[in-house]
Amino acid sequence: MPTLNPQPKPHFRREKSLAAKGLWPIAGIDEAGRGPLAGPVAAAAVVLDPRNLPKGLNDSKLLPPYVREQLFEEIMRRAIAVAVAFSSAAEIDRINIRQATLCAMRRALAALSVSPTYVLVDGNDLPESLLCAGETIIGGDGSSLSIAAASIVAKVTRDRTMRRLCQHHPQYGFSQHFGYATKAHRAAIELHGPSPFHRMSFSPFVIRY
């Protein structure tokens, strides 16, 4: 019976190659929450310590919630610098989700306690007016340790934010679906209408409200 090749894990080779060229510090950047109907989009920027890399990092979407939480604490303990920034639902409605995501990325980068020389950004959309040079990596959260770390920090931070919102608006169940368009979430919207944290530029709001 043929053996299936294991899924490749994120590595630090790209960062080491860039550092060998004098490009250091290097920050990984990723976002969480582009698709939901409610809540902010979050972006994280992480500068890992090459001498103290957390073990087990991977694309946050592939990790169980309890593992993400554990790795979040490891990243916060070991990384040289970590920053998270948000773009609110109101800002998303005003400038669109793409621009809001790029804004959050720029804010996260600017909030780092060290100034990166180079950034690695997940996806294919490099924010304009960054403070330094950088590149995009499609699927970067599954290939770059720095981006994987950023994906975990962004996801965990946004999930915690949605749980706090759920305390004030429990009727929507944000702590279960985190704002995504589940059947239960859509039913809650049908019953209660939108909250102040829903994205009115997203369907079904843009059509009905």
Using pLDDT thresholds of 50, 70 and 90, give the confidence band for residue 37: very high
Q: Are 189 and 79 in contact (CB under 8 A)?
A: no
**138 compared with 6, residue with greater pLDDT:** 138
* pLDDT of res. 70: 98
- The pLDDT value recorded for residue 76 is 98
C-alpha to C-alpha distance for 1 and 68, rounded to whole angstroms: 34
Between CA 206 and CA 209 the distance in angstroms is 6
Over the range 29-53, which residues count as b (16 or more CB within 10 Å of their CB) and which as e? bbbbbeebbbbbbbbbbbbbeeeeb
Q: Structure tokens of 173?
A: 């169940």
Q: pTM of the full predicted structure? A: 0.94
Is the per-residue pLDDT at 7 higher than 80? no
Q: In sequence order, what E strands does the chain have?
A: 26-32, 41-47, 81-87, 118-122, 133-137
Cα dihedral 179, 182, 184, 188 sign: positive
Q: Which domains, ranges and CATH numbers included, belong to the chain?
A: 13-161 (3.30.420.10)
Site of tokens 């403070």: 131
pLDDT tier for residue 3 given thresholds of 50, 70 and 90:
very low
Q: Whole-angstrom Cα distance, residue 153 to residue 161?
A: 12
3-state helix, strand, coil in the chain (%, to 5): 45, 15, 40
Mean pLDDT of 139-167: 97
